[in-house]
Structure 1
Amino acid sequence: MIQRVQTIFLFLIVVAMGVALSNPLWEKTGANLSGLAQLTALEYSQQQAIPQQAGVPPTTSPTTVITSVWYLGLLLALVGLSSLYAIFQYRNRLTQTALCAVNALMLTAIMGIILYRTLYAGKAYGNVDDQGNFLIGFYAIIAALVCNALANRFIRRDEKLVRGSERLR
């Protein structure tokens, strides 16, 4: 039935993926506080100050370098869609368990990509000792990991309960 507790957790995963897709995941200010590096679900952008040359009037706008990370957005969308599909597979708990396992793998890959982008690629930007700030999108992914583990636990508990009651018949 749809009103089981794992449905709530699966729905919370869908909501968390929507939050992660629509909000920035990480940001870091530059060394001179005028630049900003930011990671969203679809792009990694960083502002670079234009070096000033002697005799040339200063420019007011820094250049922005944008690197596409579409695969991160794709993985986030796939996790949300598979969780939404798992909600309606309430009659087949083994399928729900398998979808939760796939979600766990995709969420682990997402966390790996984010940590690589922020801790290694983002380290070169601005102050090397500053790691930057993780924002609400990143914490939504962590919440999705927790909700996925809880949903999987309650699905297994239901399956165990059903198998136990079939044994009594």
Structure 2
Amino acid sequence: MIQRVQTIFLFLIAVAMGVALANPIWEKVNLQPPAMARLTALVHTQQQTPLQQSGLPTQTIPVTYEVSVWYLALLIALVGLSSLYAIFQYRNRLTQTAMCAVNALMLTSIMGIILYRTLYVGKEYGNPADQGTFLPGFYAIIAALVFNALANRFIRRDEKLVKGSDRLR
């Protein structure tokens, strides 16, 4: 039935993925020289102000580097869509469990991409000791991991209950 507890968790996964798509995931601000890096679901942006040559009056125009990370947005959207699909598979708990397993794999790969982009690529930028700040998009992905684990747990609990009642008949 669609009014089960796992439906709420599967819906919350879809909401969390929407939040992750709409909000920035990570940001790093460096004050000396003025620079900023930001990771969203679609693009990894680095903006730097070049250092002035000694004694030469020059205009300092910030230089922006953008790297497309469209595959991150694609994975986030796939997790959201697959969790919405799993909601309507309430009659087939095996399919729901499989969709939760696929979601777990995709969420793990999303976290791997984000950690690679922030900890390794972001370390090359600015102060290596400063790791930057994780923003609401990152925490939404962590919440989706927790909701996925809870949904999977309640789906398995329902399956166990159904198998137990079949034995009694």
TM-score of Structure 1 vs Structure 2, range by shorter chain: over 0.9
Report the residue type matching 2:118 in the other structure. T
| 2:89 counterpart SS class | coil
Q: Which runs of 4+ in 1 moved over 4 A?
A: none
Asked if 1:58 is matched to 2:64, the reply is: no
CA distance in 2 between partners of 1:11 and 1:35 (Å)? 38
CA distance in 1 between partners of 2:101 and 2:11 (Å)? 16
| 1:89 counterpart SS class | coil
Q: How many pairs does the alignment contain?
A: 168
Q: What is the aligned partner in structure 1 of residue 25 from structure 2?
A: 25
| 1:2 counterpart SS class | coil
Contact 1:31–1:127 (Cα < 8 Å) also in 2: no
1:50 positional shift? 2.5
Q: What is the aligned partner in structure 1 of residue 95 from structure 2?
A: 95
Q: What is the aligned partner in structure 2 of residue 130 from structure 1?
A: 130
What's the % identity of the aligned pairs? 76
| 1:128 counterpart SS class | coil
CA distance in 2 between partners of 1:106 and 1:96 (Å)? 15
Map of 1:138-149 to 2, 5 A cutoff? 138-149=138-149
1:35 positional shift? 1.5
TM-score by length of 2: 0.96
CA distance in 2 between partners of 1:45 and 1:55 (Å)? 29
Contact 2:33–2:51 (Cα < 8 Å) also in 1: no
Can you give the 5+ residue segments of structure 2 that lack an aligned partner in the other structure? Answer: none
| 2:65 counterpart SS class | strand
TM-score by length of 1: 0.96
Can you give the 5+ residue segments of structure 1 that lack an aligned partner in the other structure? Answer: none
